[in-house]
Amino acid sequence: MNLLKASQHLNLIVEMASKLFLPFSCILFLASLLRANSLSGNGGSLKAMQGCRKGDTVNGIGDLKLYLAHFGYLNYKKNPNASDLEENHFDEELEVAVKSYQVYYHLNATGILDEPTVSQIAMPRCGCRDKVIHMHTHNSIHTVSRYSFFPGSPKWSRGQLTYGFGPTFPTRFIAPVDQAFGKWAAVSGYFTFSKAASYQGADLKISFERVDHGDGGAFNGSGGVLAHAFSPQDGRLHFDADENWSIGAMPGFFDMESVAIHEIGHLLGLGHSQDRSAIMFSSISSGVTKGLAADDIQGLRALYGR
Ligand SMILES: [Zn+2]
Ligand SMILES: [Zn+2]
């Protein structure tokens, strides 16, 4: 290969990597994503691990490692020679990751799988990762901002965006998603959202998807991961079709509008917030509704300079 070809080849790789990295930044490419996601919402296997600490070897620890890696807490360089037993071993790296997770969620950083930590892991959540490069935790007299952006702070270069719904999106949930767009439009001072003439031509493509749907972020059936969305300017937002969705607060159901507001935040460029009151907090309970908090609005305004 001559020098010119080599450099063209390298440019192509760099171009491909930069195209792939941003849209996929909220989704980790893990072959065993289903396994990792199955931890969330799987009270049984988690309960068995409660109290685990460094040095322990217990079934399910491997799943915990995948879960923490998926959401950005563990950089586990997989040893190809590791046996299954070693995978279920609570090692030094896992202890560091558990502490990092505990710090993020404002729990005691014990490094032990104590009850508050197990309860947080069991919460239904968004599939996008928590740990990102650009994190804001500045304090001022009046506010503590805990919003974040995606790596590189990607954003939309225009404020007029269109959205459309995939062919299997249930029509009764269109109204709550419309409402969710209205919430962001009302506070942004920048965005207006309108229905696209066609789904294919929409800037923001919203669909119901099941299990592995070809974007590297397989859903896991009922519970666990509820939805995910891609950073600007990809525009895809996927809801897990296997969840119980509702319009408003209903016991055992997830409110479509609340989750839509969260995922639209990702579409616009916001990452997860550490503020539990923020809509951009990573998890949500069933049977509740949630809306925009001051932290969410500050985050969007900071990103778009308003
Ligand atoms: Zn999210
Ligand atoms: Zn998806």
Comparing 76 with 185, the larger pLDDT belongs to 185
Q: Which ligand approaches the C-alpha of residue 127 most closely?
A: 1
pLDDT of the residue at 46: 86
Task: For the chain, give the mean pLDDT.
Answer: 83
Asked whether residue 8 carries a pLDDT value surpassing 70, the answer given is no
Asked whether residue 185 carries a pLDDT value surpassing 80, the answer given is yes
Q: How far is the CA of 270 from the centre of ligand 1 (A)?
A: 9
Q: How does strand 227-229 pair with strand 236-240?
A: antiparallel
- Residue 6 tokens, joined: 């080599």
204 neighbors 174 (Cβ within 8 angstroms):
no
Catalytic residue among 209, 243, 257, 263: 263
* % residues pLDDT > 70 (the chain): 77
pLDDT, one tens digit per residue, over 231-278 is 999 999 999 999 999 999 999 999 999 999 999 999 999 999 999 999
Kindly state the average pLDDT of the residues 26-33: 35
- Can you tell me the distance from the alpha carbon of 81 to that of 85, in angstroms, rounded to the nearest whole number? 11
19 — pLDDT class (breaks 50, 70, 90): very low
Long-range contacts of 289-292 (CB under 8 A, 24+ apart): 289/248, 289/249, 289/255, 289/257, 289/258, 290/255, 290/258, 290/261, 290/262, 291/183, 291/258, 291/261, 292/183, 292/184, 292/187, 292/261
pLDDT, one tens digit per residue, over 84-104 is 546 899 999 899 999 999 999
pLDDT of the residue at 234: 97
Residue 200 buriedness (CB in 10 A; 0-12 / 13-18 / 19+): exposed
pLDDT of the residue at 202: 98
Q: How far is the CA of 27 from the centre of ligand 2 (A)?
A: 9
Give yes or no: 263 in active site: yes
Asked whether residue 141 carries a pLDDT value surpassing 90, the answer given is no
Comparing 160 with 143, the larger pLDDT belongs to 160
Long-range contacts of 40-48 (CB under 8 A, 24+ apart): 40/67, 40/121, 40/122, 40/123, 40/124, 40/125, 40/220, 40/223, 40/224, 40/225, 41/122, 41/124, 41/220, 41/222, 41/223, 41/224, 42/122, 42/223, 42/224, 43/122, 46/118, 46/121, 46/122, 47/118
Asked whether residue 78 carries a pLDDT value surpassing 80, the answer given is no
- Can you tell me the distance from the alpha carbon of 74 to that of 66, in angstroms, rounded to the nearest whole number? 8
Kindly state the average pLDDT of the residues 180-184: 98
Asked whether residue 156 carries a pLDDT value surpassing 90, the answer given is yes
Q: How far is the CA of 86 from the centre of ligand 1 (A)?
A: 31
39 — pLDDT class (breaks 50, 70, 90): low
Q: Which ligand approaches the C-alpha of residue 215 most closely?
A: 2
- Can you tell me the distance from the alpha carbon of 192 to that of 162, in angstroms, rounded to the nearest whole number? 8
Residue type, 72: G
Q: How far is the CA of 227 from the centre of ligand 2 (A)?
A: 8
pLDDT of the residue at 41: 53
Q: Which ligand approaches the C-alpha of residue 128 most closely?
A: 1
The residues facing 283 across adjacent strands are 125
- CA torsion, points 283, 68, 17, 150, in degrees to nearest 10? 40
48 — pLDDT class (breaks 50, 70, 90): confident
Asked whether residue 28 carries a pLDDT value surpassing 50, the answer given is no
Kindly state the average pLDDT of the residues 4-26: 35
Asked whether residue 62 carries a pLDDT value surpassing 60, the answer given is yes
pLDDT, one tens digit per residue, over 278-289 is 999 999 999 999
Upper half-sphere CA count for residue 30 (Cβ side, 13 Å)? 28
C-beta neighbour count of 258 within 10 angstroms = 21
